[in-house]
Chains A and B, each alone.
Chain A
Amino acid sequence: MAASKRARDRHVMDSVYPVIELLFLLIACSELCDAATVVDVYRLIQYDISGVPFGSRLAGLNHHAASMHFPPSSDLSRTVLIIPLRELNISFVKEYISQRQPLGGLLFLLPQMFNYENKGGGGGVDSNHLEHGSEELRNVLNELEQLLIHSNIPYPVYFTFEDGDTEAVLADIKRNDATGQPATATTGGYKLVVSVSEPKKIVSPTITNIQGWLPGLKTDGDNQLPTIAIVASYDTFGASPGLSVGSDSNGSGAVALLEIARLFSILYSNPNTRGRYNLLFGLTSGGPYNYNGTQKWLRSVDQRLRESIDYAICLNSVGSWDNELWIHVSKPPENAYIKQIFEGFSNVAEELGVKVGLKHKKINISNPRVAWEHEQFSKLRVTAATISELSAAPELLERTGGIVDSRNFVNETSVIKSVKLIAESLARHIYGFQEKNIQIFADNSSLAVNSFYVKSWLELLSRTPRVAPFLPKNDPFILALKKELEDHTHEVNMQHEVFDGMFTFYDSSKAKLNIYQVASVTFDLLLLLVLGSYLIVLFSILVISTRGLDDLISLFRRPPSRKVKTA
């Protein structure tokens, strides 16, 4: 009897264990699954230039939210300001940052057109589908991005995109702010929480250059064929490493390079049309940092190869021009090579109905700033030119493919035009057709520029943030670039270099923001008061109804009588 009872007890206990386990599981989960709204946020980049701090210096966030309509003279040191880009007052932000006013944090809401993950927002369509005023927004964002990149901000700064959730929250906050009460711990409102650990330095980041080779046709007499190099840097830098897709700078250049490689690989696969020039294709990294990767790549290539380079064409931002493209050189225009290149390009340009201009900018060897990729070649006495839609050299970390450089502002027809111009000019130079009016890459021929190819690569690049220190050595994107180049060229190799120099980067560029609707402390106090009085009333009613009023009164008299007893 006793044994069976024990067995039954054990049975009961066995069935209780899962319940207890479930309970513990629930307790463990409680921290994870209670947020009302979770949105992806992208942190402002944090980096040092030779030890001088820039960008947002913090990542963790746990503050109440406020909108731009916060009451004046309120303390914002424990408040996150949510600022939609559409309502952004750049001078306010500038003033706040420059005066180093205390702030809990900043959250910028960007319009969906800057979201590369947004499929519906016109990924494939070009600028005529953009909403009204997008150009203005773009300018504002550009200004904001430059401001943030070059400031040292002692609080977390995040970017996210406008969507239903964030807009509803913002509307609520605005309503709250309009009543004149700032959202703090005593009035409730919304609380924004990003729980991440402190950002750490990225140790020994690498940059990866990819090179491909199309050998020319050697005849017996030739000792070594001359080489033409086509180079584009593919990495980006922007206000947020998770958002810097750089469709124009320099996604368009990389796409153009891949298409040119594809076109020439067709020509070079047939011995009859193989040119007497070697073609060297280089996708370089480290572009925003004075073309650090290009420099390392050039240093590492074989000296004989380097000396065989006839000239190098660097592609930079060729995705949003209409009519005029610039050839930037660092040798004077009177130089014979430069003259030849320029004339070749302008002849083709004339046929295509576009203009090409020549810009000469001397390089200063002692200045570490390298504004154009070709200057790295020029420093090693290799003739080089950069093809770009920009008429003037950008400053350091300017036009490097930040948030503002989204797919919506890049026109694939511009890229196609650029490819046509460059490929045609190169081909005429290679085959010696300078004076003849022959279209090698004519439309509708088997050698026509493939707009689908250009488009699909442009889409891919516009979806892939490519800030070099955040791109690991074997990132699928880098492998995809290598694979693509391998399809068209020979002897493709990747060169991993340690990214050194004066830049230091910090991680945690992407995070999840939890938005909680919170009750205020006063509410909880009030609730406690109400509950307390409810229980007291309940107690009194029960005592009176079951024992009578006298008992209730005697209950309150008892303590003193007890004291008398103990005394």
Chain B
Amino acid sequence: MTLFHFFNCAILTFGPHAVYYSATPLSEYDTLGTSIKSAIVYLVTALVKLVCLATFLKVSETDHFDPYQEALKALIGFVDVAGLYFALTQLTHRNISQNHKFQAVGLGWAFADSVLHRLAPLWVGARGLEFTWDFILQGLEANANLVFSISLAALGSLMWLRKNKPKTLIPIIYVCAVIVATMPSITSYLKRGLGWHFPEVVGFQLSISLVMALISCQLFSACQRPSY
């Protein structure tokens, strides 16, 4: 019965990634290699991030929100962006269109993130007899994260790979990218600074992720159009 619950939560956490891969043309163009490469880049990035956090951050005993520390944390969070940049531009990809490349990279990125951050707690917690909503919420959070990753990858590919984009859109792209990249800090602020509960935070993340997805989708299609 509890294994059942674990199974449910695992479906919620990792199912969307698989569905995304198989439903979109990603599967047709066999972009699994790209996703795996980006997942490896994510792992290395996470390691670098961990080292940075351990070096520069003090361990806070209290659970309250310290702006300076959080700013530092957000700054370190931009290591992610650097990793994504590396994954998008430096890695040699098999001949796939830019359109699919960012999706594959974002997908691999999000999947690696879910595995690294959510699989162990899920295995430990959801199999126990005690029932909590936490793991279902965590699964929803993973969904939001998938959307964020793909949005960020889309924005990144717009920033770094597409040379001829409408000048008017460039600031919007950057603003969106910054918002998405600082999302972990924003949620951390909501949780600890404002004392929001987990369900509220997850709801916020889901709604923001949908909005960001819509915006980046619009931006991408706007840049796609040969408007110059």
Closest A residue to B21 by beta carbon equals A542
Q: Is the CB of B5 within 8 A of A519?
A: yes
Q: Which residues of B contact A36 (CB under 8 A)?
A: 130
Q: Is the CB of A535 within 8 A of B15?
A: yes
User: Which of the segments B121-129, B165-173, B177-185 contacts the partner chain?
Assistant: B121-129
Q: Is the CB of B24 within 8 A of A27?
A: no
Q: Is the CB of A30 within 8 A of B1?
A: no
Whether B164 sits at the interface, judged by CB under 8 Å, is no
Q: Is the CB of A30 within 8 A of B5?
A: no
Q: Which residues of B contact A35 (CB under 8 A)?
A: 128-130
Q: Is the CB of B24 within 8 A of A30?
A: no
Whether A352 sits at the interface, judged by CB under 8 Å, is no
Bound together, the chains give a CA A534 to CA B11 distance in angstroms of 10
Whether A539 sits at the interface, judged by CB under 8 Å, is yes
Q: Is the interface of B mostly helix, strand, loop or mixed?
A: helix
Given A15-B47, A524-B5; A518-B124 close (CB under 8 Å): no
B22 to chain A, nearest CB (A): 7
For residues 510 through 567 of chain A, which have their beta carbon under 8 Å from a beta carbon of chain B?
514, 516-519, 521, 524, 527-528, 531-532, 534-535, 538-540, 542-543, 546-547
Contact with B along A12-27 (1 / 0, CB 8 A): 1001000000010011
Q: Which residues of A contact B8 (CB under 8 A)?
A: 524, 527-528, 531
Q: Is the CB of A518 within 8 A of B130?
A: yes
Q: Which residues of A contact B11 (CB under 8 A)?
A: 528, 531-532, 535
For residues 1 through 45 of chain A, which have their beta carbon under 8 Å from a beta carbon of chain B?
12, 15, 23, 26-27, 29-30, 34-36
Q: Is the CB of A521 within 8 A of B19?
A: no
Bound together, the chains give a CA A90 to CA B12 distance in angstroms of 50
Whether B59 sits at the interface, judged by CB under 8 Å, is no
Given A517-B131, A518-B131, A542-B23; A535-B16 close (CB under 8 Å): yes
Interface centre among B4, B20, B23, B128 (most CB of A within 10 A): B23
Q: Which residues of B contact A531 (CB under 8 A)?
A: 8, 11-12, 15
Whether A169 sits at the interface, judged by CB under 8 Å, is no
Closest A residue to B8 by beta carbon equals A527
User: Which of the segments A185-193, A296-304, A321-329, A420-428 contacts the partner chain?
Assistant: A185-193
Q: Is the CB of B15 within 8 A of A521?
A: no
Bound together, the chains give a CA A185 to CA B44 distance in angstroms of 45
Q: Is the CB of A27 within 8 A of B5?
A: no
Bound together, the chains give a CA A362 to CA B203 distance in angstroms of 82
B52 to chain A, nearest CB (A): 14
Closest B residue to A546 by beta carbon equals B24
Q: Is the CB of B136 within 8 A of A527?
A: yes
- Give the residue of A29, A191, A521 whose beta carbon is less than 8 angstroms from that of B129: A191
Q: Which residues of B contact A193 (CB under 8 A)?
A: 129
- Give the residue of A516, A517, A524, A543 whose beta carbon is less than 8 angstroms from that of B4: A524
B223 to chain A, nearest CB (A): 18
Whether B33 sits at the interface, judged by CB under 8 Å, is no
Bound together, the chains give a CA A528 to CA B15 distance in angstroms of 12
Q: Which residues of B contact A538 (CB under 8 A)?
A: 16, 19-20, 23
Bound together, the chains give a CA A23 to CA B119 distance in angstroms of 10
Add 16 more A-B contacts to A29-B124, A516-B130, A517-B131 (CB < 8 A). A12-B47, A26-B120, A30-B127, A35-B129, A516-B128, A518-B129, A518-B131, A524-B1, A524-B4, A527-B136, A531-B11, A538-B19, A539-B19, A542-B20, A542-B24, A543-B23
Return 22 A-B CB contacts under 8 Å, by A number: A12-B44, A12-B47, A23-B120, A27-B124, A30-B124, A35-B129, A185-B1, A188-B131, A193-B129, A516-B130, A518-B131, A524-B5, A524-B8, A527-B5, A534-B12, A535-B16, A538-B16, A538-B20, A538-B23, A540-B23, A547-B24, A547-B25
